[in-house]
A and B are shown apart, each in its own frame.
Chain A
Amino acid sequence: MNCLEKDALGPSQAILVVGMRMKALSKLEWLKFVDRLVNDSGMEIIGVKAKGESFVFDRLKSADELRLDHDVTILPPKKVFLPVTEDLMTYDLKGQVRGERTIDDRKRVLIGVHPYDVIAIEQMDEIYLGSNIDEHYASRRLNTLIIASDIINVSERSFAASLGTHVTDSGYDLLVTDIGDTVVVDVGTKEGRALLKKYGSARDASKKEADTVKCWRSDLPTWFARRAKLPSSEWKRVLDENHDHPIWDENSKKCLTCGTCTTVCPTCYCYDVDDKTDLNLKEGKRQRTWDGCLLREFTLVGSGEIFREGVKERYRHRFYRKGAYLPDRKGFVACVGCGRCAYQCLPDIADPSEVMNSLASYNLHKTVEHPVPSVEHPEIMEDLLIPEPATIVRKQKMTELETLYVVRLDSGKELGHAPGQFVQVSLYGIGEAPISISSAPGGKEFELLVRRIGDVTGAMEKLKEGDKIGVRGPYGRGFDPKEMQGKNMLFISGGCGLAPMRSLIDYTMGHRKDFKDVWILYGCKEPAAILFSKDLKQWADVDNVKVLTTVDKCPDGQCWDGNIGVITTLIPKVAFDPMRTIAVIVGPPVMYKFVIRDLKSRGMPDENIIVSLERRMKCGVGKCGHCQMNGIYCCIEGPVFKYSEVKNIPEAF
């Protein structure tokens, strides 16, 4: 039914203002316009083309390849701005190790983007350009003009109309509507207007043409077979209330964990980075490729721990990320109802409208909230992903597994870190690893304690003094010593947890007057694994500082006359006033629960407990997604947290 034949128009939200900016081209003129773009503009023209019975965005060779009647493309147009695989930089392994940024700033026009994909691109812009600008994304995005197109055929699994994403009034340079013999063009930006003027001969659209477009848009919702019952503004509430809904269990049993839902999603933005060295071992490229939270090793860290291993947890995470975490963080639901995941999922369990509809009709009313701590992130202005050259000044073997490196940036600048922050250490051809800084702030040199555990840390051990490494950072929220001033300090660390803790302890020792009594509790597997024993001795000599150490066991052949037992056996030995003491805990994941339990039983309030958590920090700048604990990015909101901020976060401990 055409609304021109009706007096009353459809729901007002679907009707967009169409007025003076409407232009029109005959079909022939439209094809000429596209052909001129392809042949004369010198730009790369990417449009929707047929692939079998499906559609894809691909480089156009002529206008007749372009389709405006597509229902949906297999992959979303985000691939133009964030390619499936892209080079971030090249490196040279011969002689001096160096890295050079690869930037793609080719001018492009992208034709045939449906409104839901335009909105998805606006969301991607918010992620990649909103803060900590990603230059690789930016150079593609800012050099591309978008010619959007109204939906002519609705995809069978799309529910965009329920979310209001079947139409849009922003995010495009031109928006075209194929109304038969004529293509009506809505001019969105002056760049769009200039493009149309330069390569096309458009006239003003007639009132009838403008009305036809208006009617088409208002009628469009009736063509959608699928509906989400809940408005997107309700998704977060319903998800928060249904964290333990049986659907997560039931559906995840059918899940192949094939990652298709995240690969085809227009709003998924997680990525992985890997070094690809040429077979000649002389040069290589650091590449970024799409990654997805459904895949098993998404949260794998160097020690072999996988933080979100269960299929149910992975399956659920995807829905929460889209429906709860991003609304919290950015204010939008990261689903535009394109239906790609639903259509492509073989077991058919990925459809957000179906899952949300099930949750809406069966509410358990057991609310689990995932608040994101409000942290001021300093804007990172440097090249986000390109390391700075640095030199290993000194190297000292600490234990069988651990080595301390003293590092200096080649630029001569100070690193400028806060205690508890970390850097990304880069070895070209091997990769990057997040390493916490173990020296106090200040000075041109900084110290990294590295446990030999994975590729980067293993290769690093083979480096000599004077050798080069790459460094990015410092990253993350560190400890805030100012907040701890005037308090007693209780440091509790296990294993190499002492490394990040040392930066704060050294700060405390350097500002001794600002703090009251200090206790340092340190536990290790065995005497031979004890780190910073010289430091431990020095700290113990300072007034009103008490150092207690323990080992889990003392194997034959090692010497130990101190305490034997896990770290919690040291806590009863300390008489602290729980209200006037700050406890700082850093250690292996298993340690936190037990230490926190014992501190709380001594009456310590949650606000006085500070933890630093380990996760897979791959990018360090809040984008790649690997370090997420529910809605929190460990790399920017952490790694240091107040216990009160994370105690209710299901994935934190």
Chain B
Amino acid sequence: MKARVAIFDFASCEGCELQIVNLEEKLLDLIDIVDVVSFREAMKEHSNDYDIALIEGSIMRPMDEERIKKIRERAKVLIAIGACACLGGVNKLRNEWPVEEVKKEVYGDALLEGNKFFDVFPTKAVDEVVKVDFYIPGCPIDRNEFAKVITAVALGRKPRLPSYPVCVECKKRENICVFELGQFCLGPITRAGCNAICTSFQDGCEGCRGFLDDAKMDAQKDVLRKYGVTVDQMMKKFNFYNYRKGVL
């Protein structure tokens, strides 16, 4: 019997779900090996009976928390997809300020009292609320990696993310190091798997796939200092996707 898959979004741009739609003809292969029973971005139907839940987005509100807990109860396997779900991502940047201040900045004097949609707490990644079985990181996710994780789950193989940094994939693509081009890059501490997409277009890595478990932060900071990056610039770069994970 085919596994039943449901795709849900929380606070996010839905770009990762778009990546799934962007599988194009491969999408037909996907729906051949699994039954997609809920996918708001691509279909009208919805079912609460599923085996695998794919979660995009971060958890911002009590109502999100309730919803993700329900999904967790129903799903045998829960997979976080994208930086917002895996790390909290850019949504976490607002944790720098108290929630009330953020609301005021964004909504001004609008009356939000008692409106549950605006009842927010500091942003959380999905695994700060419920157990996550597998991760497909990135902003947005990489389609090939998505296919790899799905085929692994379907074949009963544990999907494994690369445990090495982006530099490996970047060098394999024979790129000129972006440090040589006068930029700075978080590639040496960021988990590979994106096939060095940004650096291949001469754009320094922002760390959207999260830092490696054994990221060599001190060595990375030494390198950034050597290339004249200030503490303030470093902090901003580290925090962009990995809020307060690169403490100086």
Contact = CB atoms under 8 A, between A and B. Distances in A.
A281 B154 contact: yes
B158 interface: yes
A74 B176 contact: yes
A296 B164 contact: yes
Interface in B143-158: 147-148, 150-151, 154-158
B241 to A, nearest CB: 19
A459 B155 contact: yes
Contacts of B172: 75, 84-85, 263, 289-290
B33 interface: yes
A515 B176 CA distance: 65
Contact of B151 (A277, A311, A458): A277
B171 A279 contact: no
Nearest to B27: A279
B164 A295 contact: yes
Contact of B171 (A253, A311, A344): A344
Contacts of A3: none
Interface in A353-387: none
A533 interface: no
A296 B215 CA distance: 11
Contacts of A264: 171
B216 A255 contact: yes
Contacts of B68: none
Contacts of A258: 164-165, 167-168, 187-188
B171 A263 contact: yes
A260 B167 contact: yes
Interface in A224-281: 253-260, 263-264, 276-281
Interface in B164-192: 164-165, 167-168, 171-172, 174-177, 179, 181, 187-189
Interface stretch (A50-58, A403-411, A583-591): A50-58
B168 A296 contact: no
B219 A279 contact: no
B96 interface: no
A194 interface: no
A466 B194 CA distance: 40
A245 to B, nearest CB: 20
A51 B223 contact: no
A279 B144 CA distance: 9
Nearest to B32: A280
Nearest to A344: B177
A256 B30 contact: no
Interface string B208-243: 000000101011101100100000000000000000
A279 B174 CA distance: 28
A295 B163 CA distance: 8
Given A51-B176, A430-B155, A462-B156, A279 B216 contact: no
Interface residues of B, number: 39
B26 interface: yes
B29 interface: yes
B177 A346 contact: yes
Contact of A459 (B33, B157, B167, B171): B157
Interface string A288-321: 0110100111000000000000010000000000
Nearest to B202: A52
Nearest to B147: A279
B177 A279 contact: no
A347 interface: yes
A297 B167 contact: no
B151 A52 contact: no
B151 A256 contact: no
Given A75-B171, A255-B219, A281 B155 contact: yes
B29 A279 contact: yes
B219 A254 contact: yes
Nearest to A294: B164
A256 B168 contact: no
Given A256-B167, A346-B179, A280 B218 contact: no
A478 B38 CA distance: 55
B220 A259 contact: no
Interface string A430-441: 110000000000
Given A51-B176, A260-B168, A260-B171, 11 more contacts: A75-B172, A84-B172, A255-B216, A257-B164, A258-B167, A258-B188, A280-B29, A280-B33, A281-B33, A290-B172, A458-B156
3 closest cross-chain pairs (CB), A and B:
A258-B167, A263-B171, A280-B29
12 contacts: A56-B174, A74-B176, A277-B155, A279-B23, A279-B26, A279-B33, A280-B29, A280-B33, A296-B163, A344-B177, A455-B157, A458-B158
Interface of B: 23, 26, 29-30, 32-33, 147-148, 150-151, 154-158, 163-165, 167-168, 171-172, 174-177, 179, 181, 187-189, 214, 216, 218-220, 222-223, 226
